[in-house]
Structure 1
């Protein structure tokens, strides 16, 4: 299992976009997060990175969130999407595309601390996952990779993760740039390794942190690990994810790098993006099939 997970870690950490994330990778957190999720019950998944130039979300994040939700559903876990307004149309469209009926909770832009505590009391989740979700910087603001202050446009979901940590709820962070929730676990390394890291680095840590070349790939990496643990391929088929990509773009998602409304992820053409995911799927099949 350990050697297989190491291969998964290598695959998802390919830095095809050239962000210099290799120093941020914590070996072992991928497997630890998957094993922890196996013991879970209700899992909150938050995603959706606000693109200031277009006023909507991007293609990296929603696809991985749906992949995780589908895998958790197959394992009998309850997945709940916790998002903010700009990303609601994208996630609703994605859920409709795959026919998955799960709850969506809209987190407010203001008054989040009280809302977070009430939400945790109501659902009593075992785990929280932040997937490509902007996190708070040292100065209390929220920045994109261009060092644009988007604090007034996004829900401050760090408060949910801080409250969860205080309650002993396990947290998982997924990111690819250093400014996402969870990166507080490697804060000093982000400052030293990522362009504009001193300004944008997120201070909020998570129990487990999975850093990948594209955040969606990390979500698929978790699905691959879960598949190995249960000896059943829980990964989304390429044809389904292609439909998802088309659907979220149709509903307004843009490429977070090019800022264009096109079927690309972090500037990667679909063929290059899916080549990595397909390698994960093929590896899992070789491991679990007789």
Structure 2
């Protein structure tokens, strides 16, 4: 428990001054204990050979081009998928916009996961021959999501859903950026799938850093009070940027990727397996892969190896500190 609490404290230092410390306190009070501990327990409880659906990131400026995605989210989700495959021999299914599948493919492959079809993943799971990832597109049209959600949950039968840095709609159905701008165009309605999963009692873990992400519905009142544009956006819809979709376990972090790094560390400690760690070396590889894939540092509006405006070395440092925190358990 002390280990989990230290990870909580590390990744919730509000370096970006977005109000995350208020969200952390609220989420922790609701959880009744460590957020990272609960978030690590959920994937470790997935049955051996089970299925986990993950989603992350999103189109960044679709009014310019739907091919542009942001770099907070993909590397963190890839780190969690890697840890899941190594710890539980899971079939991990990553959902993204179809236009961004090449970028997430490159990111996951850099994390050590080879992209395959669902049928190929079943073969790999059976003989435990190598680590795989399945990538599927999700609908961007409002009128399609319900049928796709129902069919996908029926076909995949997931044991867990995991979301990180995935923007969710507010009470008026609008998806917002942290600047309170309508970000809905070209965006896959994955939050609707998670709503359906929650209604069916399928566990959902969500990571976010700003209040507009899937999962933040759990602390909606605190988003309105403490986050810029949390109460009133700039698009004129009449609401704030807060996402209405909740979750079972909410992990807050100053940068969503850091939350995932810490979850992987907590999973490694529980498994007694250092291979599950998201190491500084792997983070460096992933930052470079995301640059090569054209994923944008959305804060500064440029393709580079900073994420959420935090420079490269800060991300390597968080990975190293998480490894240090759990080193005795390993």
TM-score by length of 1: 0.95
Tell me the TM-score normalized by structure 2.
0.84
Unaligned runs of 5+ in 1: none
Partners of 1:86 and 1:13 lie apart in 2 by 32
Distance across 1 between alignment mates of 2:295 and 2:194: 26
1:192 and 2:225 correspond: yes
| Correspondence for 1:81 | 94
Give, in whole Å, the separation in 2 of the partners of 1:94 and 1:188.
35
Shift of 1:195: 0.2
- The 8 Å contact of residues 57 and 86 in structure 1, kept in 2 or not, is answered as no
Match of 1:149 in 2: 182
Consecutive aligned runs of 4 or more in structure 1 exceeding 4 Å deviation:
none
2:173 aligned with 1:140: yes
User: 2 CA distance for matches of 1:190 and 1:131?
Assistant: 17
Q: Which residue of 1 aligns with 2:139?
A: 108
- Structure 2 residue runs of 5 or longer lacking an equivalent are 29-33, 115-132, 232-239
Instruction: After superposition, give the CA deviation of every residue in 1:14-43 in whole Å (9 maximum; x if it has no partner).
Output: 211111111111232321221121121211
> Is 1:244–2:286 an aligned residue pair?
yes
Closer, same or farther: CA 86–147 of 1 in aligned 2, 3 Å? farther
> Is the Cα–Cα contact under 8 Å of residues 278 and 319 in structure 2 kept in the other structure?
no
* CA distance, structure 2, for counterparts of residue 175 and residue 287 of structure 1: 27
Paired with 2:279 and 2:261, the residues of 1 have a C-alpha distance of: 11
Question: Aligned ranges for residues 39-54 of structure 1 at < 5 Å?
Answer: 39-40=45-46, 41-52=50-61
- 1:22 equivalent to 2:34? Answer no
Contact 1:54–1:259 (8 Å) recurs in 2: no
Structure 1 stretch displaced more, 161-170 or 25-34:
25-34
Give, in angstroms, the shift of residue 256 of structure 1.
Answer: 1.6
Matches within 5 A, 1:265-280: 265-280=307-322
Distance 2:107 2:93 in 1: 14
Residue by residue over 1:128-148, the C-alpha shift from the partner in whole angstroms, topping out at 9 and shown as x without a partner, is 111100001121110111222
Distance 1:54 1:242, change over 3 A: farther
Is the 8 Å Cα contact of residues 59 and 97 (structure 2) preserved in structure 1?
no
Taking the aligned partners of 2:293 and 2:318, their CA distance within structure 1 comes to: 25
Q: Greater Rg, structure 1 or structure 2?
A: 2
Aligned match for 2:267, one of 217, 226, 231: 226
Partner of 1:205 in structure 2? Answer: 246
Instruction: Give the match for residue 216 of structure 2.
Output: 183
Q: Which moved more, 1:167-176 or 1:228-237?
A: 228-237
Does the Cα contact within 8 Å between 1:48 and 1:87 map onto a contact in 2? no
Query: Which of 34-43 and 93-102 deviates more?
Result: 93-102
Give the RMSD, CA atoms, in angstroms: 1.3
